Structure formats: C-alpha cells, structure tokens
Amino acid sequence: MTNSITNFVPLSNVNESCTTCPQQVEITDFTKYDHHAFKLRYRSNSIISASTTEEEKPLPVIKILGTGGTIASKAQSSNVTAGYAVDLTIEELLSHIPDLSTTCILEYEQVMNIDSKDMGLPEVAKLYKQIKEDLSKYDGIVITHGTDTMEETAFFIQSTINTDKPIVFCGSMRPSTAISSDGPMNLYQAIVIASHPESHGRGVLIALNDRIGAGYYITKSNANSLDTFKTVGQGYIGNFVNDEVKYYFPAAKPLGMTYFELGEQFNLPEVPIIYAHQGLNNKILELSLKEMNAKGLVIASMGAGSLSAETNEFLHNLVTPGFPIIYSKRSMDGMVPLGGLPRFNGKVFDNAVAGGYLNPQKARILLQLCLNEGYDLSKIKKVFKTV
C-alpha cells in the first residue's frame, strides 16, 4: 500500500452538545492497486481515543469489503425497487449507519462495485484473494454483495477458506433510494455480528433481515421479499433483535464440508447445469457437454433425483467412464439420496453422484473444486456423500 492520506471529518449526525458522543472520525486513505482502501477510526470522546485500562478489552478490528449489489444501488425515485443501477461506495453506505465507536474499529475497501449477476470466476477469485490477504490482520470480515448470487460466493468462500474468524455476507433487497431501504440496517447488523465473540467458529455467515444463516446451506428463496434468505431444513443459526446478537446453538460449522486449498492462480473447469422439466429435449445435454468442453455436469432433477427413463438412458450412452454427473434437485428443500440415482441392469449408474442437500448452483461449485483438485469419480462421490 502506498500514499497514506489521513483526514479527520466531522460526523454529520453528531449532537454537538453531547459530551460523550464521538465528534470526529479519522479516515485514512491508502491507495492500493487499482482502488482505495480506508481505515475508519472514531476520535474525540469515543472509547477508542480514551486510554485503555488493563481490564478493558481492545475493540475488534473489522474489515468491510465492498463488491456492489442492490445495497449499493440507486433508483430514479423512492418507490422504484427494480431497474436500478449500482452507484454507491462503501464510504457512502457507512455514512447511513449508526455510530459503531464502542463496537469495533472499522476499515473498508472497495474491491469492486458490480451487480452480482456479473460476478464470475475472475471476480470471485479477486474477492477470495483479498480475504486471504486480510484475514490474518483483522478479527472479522464483512462483505457487501448482491443477493442474486450471494449464496454462491458464500459457498465458495466457505469451501476454500478455513478459519474460525467470522466472515459475514450482507446485502439488501431494496436500493438505497427506496422507501424503507433495508441496506443500512443489514450492513449495521453484519458489522455487529462480525464483532461479536460468539460469531467465531460458525463458518461463513449470511445476515439479512434480522436473520443469521450458514452460507453453506442458505439460499435466496424469493425474488422480491426482504425475508428472502432461507434454510428450511437446516434452519437459521441465530437472529439480531434490538442491537442484540442471539445464537440458538453452540458454535459449530456445517458437518461434511471439504476444504480446498487454492493457489495464487486457478481456473475452475467448465460444469454446466441443466434444469430438468417435462418433455426435456435430450439434445441439450449433448450440446452442453460437447460444445462447452464440460468436465462434469449438474442436473436439477425433478424431485429427489428423478429424470425420465429416456433421459437417463441418453446420459448413460452419452458419457464416458469417470465423467461425473451430479443429480441435484429443483426444489429448495430436501435432498437427493443414493437411492434416488438411476439403475441399469440392477446396478446404480456409475457416473451418477447424489447431490445430497446442495442445490444445483452449490453442487456445481463443489464439483468444480473437486475437479480442480484432480479428484477422480470415486473421490468425488466420497466428497458428495457427506453433504
């Protein structure tokens, strides 16, 4: 990092007659690569600027990584909740949340500022590398992210970064300009959650609308509602009420996870997802595998691994030995068990792999990571057997 610039900026929402309120905030701007990183530190009468006694515990230092999304978007009017554009920085978002001077020390960095529909492997890799770089320096990480693909990024980070420090994703369903925008509260809650000592050892978290869920399982269930992120079978792990973080269970990460250590440079193999439906034209399977040079396939099956006999027969004749086909499911909840896989001549289709509880988009990421690691079909089956 180069060119450090420090400024003290008056807080716009401070009551000047309050002698115990922080009166200024220190913002240090570090020019870094192609973007800026900032260190936010309250001063004056705040706890940070006061002397620390031996009995006082130091405040946790939390890093916010901004990637864009609806939480950083503006619309043309306050009643518009669709068709908006990403237009806000992390610095602007932080100006709309309550004082955190007695909760944590904040630093923040704008890693990118895009709609999450544009989040591809290069963008996820950039975020992954930033988290890896920052993790040893901070007590927790908060990531602002669009909700459309948040669950995929959270699953990828959970599968590739093994830490007990809290990594908390947050976003919003309404743009910043909307009536009752949910972004500021979701960001505030995510920071408090990342600062909380009981958030350690729980894996990657997603925090929206007062709910705390495991990034490994949680999924976006509604295209419009604020209460969109659900884990029907596994349930939420906690909630946020009136400035209090409440967990329902002792700290634990989801069972059955496999961690993958990625190098500085990586390029995951191509794995398409095919959504099954009545009257599926099997030609799309052949086109996907041959034209895309796919190394594996994920099927969003009907029910718990259900595909028509014709489609299963087509796949059986299409693929070569060792080619993995993950049988996932269209439904949000439930699982694909081993017993749901197709059989030929009394034996389970050897290429078929039960997707367990994972939805198709998460099964795809897990298969890509397995293939990137060089796992053969037998090892891939062992990995998926635990999910």
Cβ-proximal residues to 387 (8 Å cutoff; 6+ apart), any chain: 256, 257, 355, 356, 357, 358, 366
Q: Do 86 and 221 fall into the same domain? A: yes
Options 70, 144, 231, 311, the catalytic residue:
70
Q: Do 189 and 309 fall into the same domain? A: no
pLDDT of residue 147: 97
**Pick from 187, 25, 17, 40: which is nearest to 107 by CA?**
40
**Pick from 332, 326, 324: which is nearest to 378 by CA?**
324
| pLDDT class of 51 with cuts at 50, 70, 90 | very low
| pLDDT class of 372 with cuts at 50, 70, 90 | very high
Q: Is residue 255 part of a domain?
A: no
Amino acid symbol at 126 = K
Q: Do 110 and 227 fall into the same domain? A: yes
| pLDDT class of 27 with cuts at 50, 70, 90 | low
pLDDT of residue 239: 97
* Beta carbons of 325 and 351 less than 8 angstroms apart: yes
pLDDT of residue 55: 59
User: CA 108, CA 90: separation in Å to the nearest integer?
Assistant: 7
Q: Is residue 46 part of a domain?
A: no
| pLDDT class of 43 with cuts at 50, 70, 90 | very low
User: CA 163, CA 261: separation in Å to the nearest integer?
Assistant: 12
Q: Do 243 and 348 fall into the same domain? A: no
Q: Do 110 and 192 fall into the same domain? A: yes
pLDDT of residue 76: 87
Options 103, 144, 147, 177, the catalytic residue:
147
pLDDT of residue 41: 55
**Pick from 273, 309, 308: which is nearest to 288 by CA?**
273
Residue list, annotated binding site for substrate: 116, 147-148
Q: Is residue 162 part of a domain?
A: yes
User: CA 220, CA 332: separation in Å to the nearest integer?
Assistant: 9
pLDDT of residue 47: 32
* Beta carbons of 143 and 65 less than 8 angstroms apart: yes
Is 52 annotated in the active site? no
State mean pLDDT over 241-256: 95
State mean pLDDT over 83-107: 92
Other Cβ atoms less than 10 A from the Cβ of 24: the count is 18
Q: Which domain holds residue 152?
A: 61-247
96 has a pLDDT exceeding 50: yes
Q: Is residue 39 part of a domain?
A: no
Q: Do 122 and 204 fall into the same domain? A: yes
Q: Is residue 257 part of a domain?
A: no
- The total number of structural domains in the chain stands at 2
Amino acid symbol at 207 = A
Average pLDDT, the chain: 89
CATH number for the domain including 323? 3.40.50.40
User: CA 141, CA 111: separation in Å to the nearest integer?
Assistant: 13
154 has a pLDDT exceeding 80: yes
pLDDT of residue 34: 61
Cβ-proximal residues to 163 (8 Å cutoff; 6+ apart), any chain: 135
| pLDDT class of 23 with cuts at 50, 70, 90 | very low
166 has a pLDDT exceeding 50: yes
Q: Is residue 152 part of a domain?
A: yes
368 has a pLDDT exceeding 90: yes
**% of the chain surpassing 90 pLDDT:** 81
Q: Do 277 and 242 fall into the same domain? A: no
State mean pLDDT over 281-291: 95
User: CA 336, CA 327: separation in Å to the nearest integer?
Assistant: 7
Write the secondary structure of 279-329 as one string of H (helix), E (strand) and C (coil).
Answer: CCCCHHHHHHHHHCCCCCEEEEEECCCECCHHHHHHHHHHCCCCCCEEEEE
- Strands 325-329 and 297-301 turn out to be parallel
Q: Do 91 and 230 fall into the same domain? A: yes
User: CA 198, CA 195: separation in Å to the nearest integer?
Assistant: 9
Residue list, annotated binding site: 116, 147-148
User: CA 352, CA 355: separation in Å to the nearest integer?
Assistant: 9
Q: Do 241 and 279 fall into the same domain? A: no
State mean pLDDT over 288-299: 96
Q: Is residue 225 part of a domain?
A: yes
State mean pLDDT over 34-57: 50
> In angstroms, how far is the first alpha carbon of the chain from the final one?
40
User: CA 149, CA 124: separation in Å to the nearest integer?
Assistant: 11
pLDDT of residue 16: 46
Q: Cα angle at 62 between 20 and 191, to 5 degrees?
A: 75
pLDDT of residue 1: 43
User: CA 269, CA 74: separation in Å to the nearest integer?
Assistant: 36
Is 147 annotated in the active site? yes
Span of 3-7, 79-83, 167-171 with lowest mean pLDDT? 3-7
Q: Do 77 and 145 fall into the same domain? A: yes
User: CA 240, CA 262: separation in Å to the nearest integer?
Assistant: 34
Q: Which helix (H) or strand (E) holds 154?
A: helix 150-160
Q: Do 214 and 329 fall into the same domain? A: no
Q: Do 144 and 78 fall into the same domain? A: yes
347 has a pLDDT exceeding 50: yes
pLDDT of residue 263: 87
Q: Is residue 303 part of a domain?
A: yes
